[in-house]
Structure 1
Amino acid sequence: MYRILFLCFVVSVSSKFAWKHHNNEELPVVLEEVHQKCPNITRVYALTEPSVRNVPLYVIELSDSPGFHQPYKPEVKYVGNIHGNEVLGRELLLGLADYLCEQYNNNDRHIRALIHNTRIHLLPAMNPDGWQLSTDAGGQDYLIGRNNNHSVDLNRNFPDLDAITFEFERQGISHNNHLLRDVTRLAAPLEPETRAVMRWMMSIPFVLSAALHGGDLVANYPYDESRSGAPVSEYSASPDDDTFSSYNFGVQGGVTNGAAWYSLKGGMQDFNYLATNAFEITLELGCDKYPLEKDLEKEWHRNKDALIAYIWKAHTGVKGIVTDDSGFIQNAVISVVNITGPVPKPIRHDVTTGTYFIIN
C-alpha cells in the first residue's frame, strides 16, 4: 500500500534536533535521523501519491512493531501543514517524533508505555507545495501558500459526507457512518494529496486523530458543516457531541463545535468521522500562521504535554475483538449506548471492525 523508502542520506545518530523551519529536503532527513536513533520502534514511509510538484508525503510511525497492526493497540495519527502557510504543526510533529524517540531511549516509563501500547503515525506536511510557496514569499502573507499547487484548499477537497448524512436525516434514515460507499459524485476532483490521505485513512484502522492548523487558538470538533448548508455559524451536533464537547477533549473555553464557529464543506475532520472509525478534532495552534524561528522551541514547550496527553485518549473506552466460531469477524457493526445519564441513550453512530475500502 505504501512505497518502501530507501533514503540515501548520511545522518548522525547522535544529532540533536534543531528548532528551525525545515525545508522539504530536510524534512525526510530529520525523520530518517529519528529512525536511525530508534530503529526498533520507528518506520518511515511515504503515502501512495506525492504532491502536485512530486514531493513525497512522508510519515513516521512509532510503535513496538512498526509496520503491523496489533489487536488492542489503537492507531492514532497527527496531520500537519494541510494549509501550506500554517507551519507550526509541521515543526511540532518533527519535534514530537524526535522527543518520543529520545525519551524512549532514556527509559522514560510514561513514553515507553505509550509506544508499547499505541501505534502512532505522524504526517508533518500534507501540503509541502504550499509550504514552499509560502516560504518563498516570506512566510508572512495570510493567504499565499494556503492551497496546494493546483490552487485548491485541501481542507475543502474531501468528499462532502456531511451533506449525505443530513439528507439521510431528512429522510428519516438512520445511517451516518462509513459513508464513502454512498458517494455517487464529487463536488470537485480529488487532489493527489487528498487522495493519498484518504487511502491512508481507509487502510489503517485509526481511532483517534488531530489536524494541526494555525491562524487562531481553538480546538473544534464535528460537525464542521451546518445542517442548513448555509455558510453561517450554526451549531451542528454529531451523535457523539457529548463526548466531543466534554472533558475528554478539553475544558470550557477555547473548544467549539466546528459549524458553530464557521461552516465548511469537504473538511478532513468530518470525513474521518463519517468514513472511518476515527474521531478527529482540529487544533488551531495560535494566531501566527508562520511563527518566527526563534519562537518554535517556546511553542514546543507550550504544546508538548497536550500532544502526548491527546494520544493517551485513544486508550479511553473499550477495546475488544468480535469473533465467532470461525474467528475474527470483519465489518461487524458495533452499536454503543451511553448509560452515564439518568436514561440509557443510544449513540446513533455505529463503528465497525476491520473495514477496508480502496480509493481508485
Structure 2
Amino acid sequence: MDCARLWLGLLMPAVAALDFSYHHQPEMEAFLKNVAQNYSSITHLHSIGKSVQGRNLWVLVVGRSPKEHRIGIPEFKYVANMHGDEAVGRELLLHLIEYLVTRDGRDPEITNLINSTRIHIMPSMNPDGFEAVVKPDCFYNDGRDNSNLYDLNRNFPDAFELNEVPRQPETVAVMKWLTTETFVLSANLHGGALVASYPFDNGVPATGTLYSRSLTPDDDVFQYLANTYASRNPDMKRNSCRIKTGFSNGIINGYSWYPLKGGMQDYNYIWAQCFEITLELSCCKYPRKEKLPGFWKDNKDSLIEYIKQVHIGVKGQVFDQNQTPLSNVTVEVQDRKHICPYRTNKFGEYYLLLLPGSYVIEKTAQLISLPSNIFY
C-alpha cells in the first residue's frame, strides 16, 4: 500500500461510531452529512429528489472521484428500504458507508475498491414509508407503500405488459437518476425472506414463462452474481427462515418465485443497462434492533464481495478515425441481444458483465457497422 495514503488514512477524522439501532430521517441525515463533511475527498452527498411528503432521497457516493465519473471507473449502486417497513437493508447500508470510509487507506481491500469503483449508496428510497411504521411487525406494516399507497416495486414501466399505475415521485426520481450515470451493477435490498433473486421478474413465453421461469440473455451472469452474495451469507445459503420455498442455495429466478409487474430490477436491466438483483435479507421485515449486529456480521462480506463484481467482463471505449469518442454505439455480445440494445455513453464507454470465456462482440452506429480498428 502507498505509505503516504496510509499516513493520510491514519490522520483522517473518524466518524462517530454508528450504533446498531433504527435511524429515522433526521438521524440518518445527520450521519450522512457528518460523513460527507469529514470524508469530503472520497464522498459526495446529494439528493436525487423528494418523497411524496417532501423528504430527501439521499445518495452518498464513495470513490476517488466522488463528484464526477472518470473514464474506466465503473458505477455501482445499492438501494434499500424501497418498502418502508423492510428496515434491515437501510441500516446495513449506513454501516457499509461507515465501514468503507473509515477503512480507506488502512485496509488494502477497501482502499483498492474505492480506487477502482464509484459506489452510490441510497439507504432509503421510501423514507415516508419508514416513518409511517408505528408498531414494527415481522410480516406487514402500513409503511410498505409510499404515502400515496403505491408499492414502489410495482411502479416502474414494464417491458412485458402495460403498467398504467401513476408514476410516483420516488420512482420518477430513480428513473431520472439512472439517466445521469452509467450504472453497471446494482442490488436492491429488501426483507421478509432470505434469498438473492435475479431477473426477469416478469416475462413472456419467449423468456421461458411456460416453464415457470423467465430468463435473461445473461442468465449465467445473474446466477453467478446471486451466488456471489448468497454463498457468503450462511443463513441465506441454507434458507434459515424455515419456510418451504424453491430456493436453491439461497438464489432464485424472480419469475420462478412469483411473477411481478413493474419491478425495479427488470427496469434497471432492460432500460438502464444495469444488472440488478434483489436481496431479501431477513425473515422478519422489521426485526428488533438487538438483531442488527448479527445481520451486519452475516452480510458484511457479501456486500463487499458483490461490489467487486462490477469489474468482471470487458470494458472499453469506441472512437472514430479522429480518436473522438463515439456515443450511442450499440455494443452487444453475439447471441446475447438485449430488449433495449446496450449502447456506449457520452464518453464512448461500454461495460459488459461477462463470465470468463470466449465471446464475439458486435458494434454498430447509425446502422453502419464499425471497422474493428476503432474499437478499444
Aligned partners of 1:225, 1:191: CA distance in 2, in Å? 20
SS at match of 1:243: helix
Equivalent residue letter for 2:81: N
- Aligned pairs for 1:45-194 within 5 A: 45-47=46-48, 49-105=49-105, 107-134=106-133, 136-140=134-138, 142-163=140-161, 187-194=164-171
Q: 1:186-230 deviations in whole A, cap 9, x for unaligned? A: 51111000000110111110000000000000111110014269x
Are 1:333 and 2:330 counterparts? Answer: yes
Gap change, CA 1:97 and 1:233, over 3 Å in 2: farther
Q: Could you list the runs of 5+ residues in structure 2 that have no partner in the other structure? A: 1-12, 232-247, 348-376
Q: 1:36-64 deviations in whole A, cap 9, x for unaligned? A: 332100011001x2001100000100010
Matched-pair contact (CA < 8 Å) for 1:232–1:262: no
Length, aligned pairs only: 313
Aligned partners of 1:141, 1:220: CA distance in 2, in Å? 19
Q: Over aligned residues, Cα RMSD in angstroms? A: 2.2
Matched-pair contact (CA < 8 Å) for 1:234–1:262: no
TM-score, with structure 1 as normaliser = 0.82
Q: 1:119-138 deviations in whole A, cap 9, x for unaligned? A: 0000000000110111x234
Matched-pair contact (CA < 8 Å) for 2:163–2:262: no
TM-score, with structure 2 as normaliser = 0.79
More displaced stretch, 185-194 vs 37-46: 185-194
Aligned partners of 2:136, 2:189: CA distance in 1, in Å? 21
Matched-pair contact (CA < 8 Å) for 2:198–2:226: no
Aligned partners of 2:191, 2:259: CA distance in 1, in Å? 17
Match in the other structure for 1:347: 336
Q: Could you list the runs of 5+ residues in structure 1 that have no partner in the other structure? A: 1-11, 164-184, 338-345
Gap change, CA 1:215 and 1:141, over 3 Å in 2: closer
Gap change, CA 1:225 and 1:197, over 3 Å in 2: same
Aligned partners of 1:195, 1:78: CA distance in 2, in Å? 17
More displaced stretch, 144-153 vs 236-245: 236-245
Matched-pair contact (CA < 8 Å) for 2:223–2:251: yes
Aligned partners of 2:302, 2:343: CA distance in 1, in Å? 28
Aligned partners of 2:169, 2:20: CA distance in 1, in Å? 30
Match in the other structure for 1:9: none
Matched-pair contact (CA < 8 Å) for 1:37–1:101: no
Match in the other structure for 2:173: 196
Match in the other structure for 2:27: 26
